[in-house]
Amino acid sequence: MILAVAAIAILVTIALALARAFMGPTLYDRILAVNMVGTKTVLLIAVLAVLSGRTEIIDIALIYALINFIGVVAVLKLVEHGNFYASGEED
Amino acid sequence: MKYPVKHVISLSVVLFLLWLGLSGHWTPLLVSLGIVSTLLTVYIAHRMDVIDHETYPAHMRLLMFRFWFFLAREIIAANIDVIRRVFKPGKNISPQMIKLPVTMETCLARVIYANSITLTPGTVSVNLEKDSVTVHALSIEGAEELRSGRMARAIPQDYVEE
Amino acid sequence: MILIEMLSWLFIGAGALLGIAGGIGIHRFPDFYSRLHAAGTTDTLCAALFLIGLAMQTGVSVASFKLLLIFAFLFFSSPTASHALANAAMLGNLKPYLDENNADQQP
């Protein structure tokens, strides 16, 4: 019961973050919001896994947490340098 | 070999325990496959030359725990503070940008310091340099708190030897 | 154990409220850097509360080990992501909104 309520609360948070991602005046606001959506998605997957009793789904949450972090850092690097080169390699 | 053998052994043990925890299978065939994959990973890490004190901090041990308890309390306080500011009507924040000296010797200690700043009372580390860190604080109180140096003193110095 | 069950409800409920508070926070605050506080600070504790609460529900098992592993990873990566964002914004010359009566402003 509490798990269903928690899942709905996470969905509300994701909706709020998505609104910020669409509105966001600057690019960084959007990345921040997307990062937040990613973290909340990890939690949502974990909650749904426990809710449905199929705990092997937690593996997906684990992978998603890893991918989300790498994705955010990659996007930031792209914004910062305009390409994916390591910071020392350009000019 | 540029690194002691005990790093290799402890890395293997940690990786194998991680494999056991993630798979949850205990039949001999699967465990032996797990051992093979662990050894393969260690070999790849060896070829990439990433088994060093930074990627596997064997010297960070029990002294961390006291700091973690300190950090947990600070994180909870930080969250209560931020939530209060979120729901306080009207003008609720007074952002500051301050520069703090960093006295830590090692890279690891400096990174732990910057991360702890980010986690705690309404402060985010913006730029970390060799001897200073630029911090964006949500409120004057948060900035003052950091300037008092309580956080910097709480980071245990002795375990982060080079 | 009814006690652990109730404790886990408490944790998950607190995490859910904290998440929503963070979501409201990124709409209430005026500029990017202060939004970073709302999102970054609440994210860590929200995830921690959720995952500990869920781990209590699953009991001692492979699932709770994985949940704690997710917790450990998020605990280290979340402040790093916040710092990377703030650093990128500063390098991108995004000016923070600062309080006027401010003794030592950095340019």
Q: List chains adjacent to chain C, taking adjacency as at least 3 C-beta pairs closer than 8 Å.
A: A, B
Contacts of C61 (CB under 8 A, 6+ apart): A55, B24
- Could A39 and C27 be called an inter-chain contact, meaning their C-beta atoms sit closer than 8 Å? no
Q: Along the 162 residues of chain B, how does pLDDT read in single tens digits?
A: 566 677 777 778 888 888 887 777 778 888 888 888 888 988 888 787 766 655 555 555 556 677 778 888 878 887 888 888 778 776 667 777 777 777 777 777 777 777 777 777 677 777 777 777 777 777 777 777 777 777 667 766 655 444
- What is the reported pLDDT for A15? 92
Number of domains in chain A: 1
Q: Nearest by CB to A16, from C9, C26, C62: name it.
A: C26
Q: How confident is the model at residue A81 (pLDDT cuts 50, 70, 90)?
A: low
Q: Establish if C16 belongs to a structural domain.
A: yes
Q: Establish if C105 belongs to a structural domain.
A: no
Q: How confident is the model at residue A14 (pLDDT cuts 50, 70, 90)?
A: very high
Determine the residue of chain B that is closest to C42 in CA distance.
B79
- Could A9 and C70 be called an inter-chain contact, meaning their C-beta atoms sit closer than 8 Å? no
- What is the reported pLDDT for B4? 67
Interaxial angle between packed helices A27-52 and C32-58, expressed in degrees from 0 to 180 and rounded to the nearest 10: 10
Residue pair C35/C26 in contact by the 8 Å Cβ criterion: yes
Q: Where are the alpha helices (DSSP H) in chain B?
A: 5-23, 28-47, 64-87, 107-119, 140-147, 150-154
Interface test with B, best of C10, C18, C34 (most B CBs within 10 A): C34
Q: Where are the alpha helices (DSSP H) in chain C?
A: 2-28, 32-58, 62-91
Starting at the earlier edge strand, list the strands of the sheet with B96-101.
B96-101, B132-137, B123-128
Domain map (residue ranges) of chain B: 5-47, 64-154
**Structural domain of residue C23, as residue ranges?**
2-91
Concatenated DSSP letters of B38-82: HHHHHHHHHHTT--STTTS-TT--TTHHHHHHHHHHHHHHHHHHH
Structure token pair of residue C77: 């990566």
**Structural domain of residue A23, as residue ranges?**
2-81
Residue pair B16/B31 in contact by the 8 Å Cβ criterion: no
pLDDT digits (tens, 9 = 90+) for C52-87: 888 888 878 888 888 888 888 888 888 888 888 888
Give the other-Cβ count within 10 Å of B51's Cβ.
19
Largest CA distance in chain C: 57
* Beta strand pairing call for B132-137 and B123-128: antiparallel
Q: Establish if A54 belongs to a structural domain.
A: yes
pLDDT digits (tens, 9 = 90+) for A60-72: 888 888 888 888 8
- What is the reported pLDDT for B52? 64
> Cα A34 vs. chain centroid, distance in angstroms?
6
Q: List chains adjacent to chain A, taking adjacency as at least 3 C-beta pairs closer than 8 Å.
A: C
CA distance, residue C54 to nearest chain A CA (Å): 7
Pick C35 or A86 by higher pLDDT. Answer: C35
- Taking the Cβ of residue B24 and every Cβ of chain C, the question of whether any pair is shorter than 8 Å is answered with yes
Q: Establish if C100 belongs to a structural domain.
A: no
- What is the reported pLDDT for A1? 79
- Taking the Cβ of residue C65 and every Cβ of chain A, the question of whether any pair is shorter than 8 Å is answered with no
Q: Please report residues of B whose CB lies closer than 8 A to that of C31.
A: 95
Say which amino acid occupies B73: R
- Could A43 and C50 be called an inter-chain contact, meaning their C-beta atoms sit closer than 8 Å? yes
Q: Establish if A91 belongs to a structural domain.
A: no
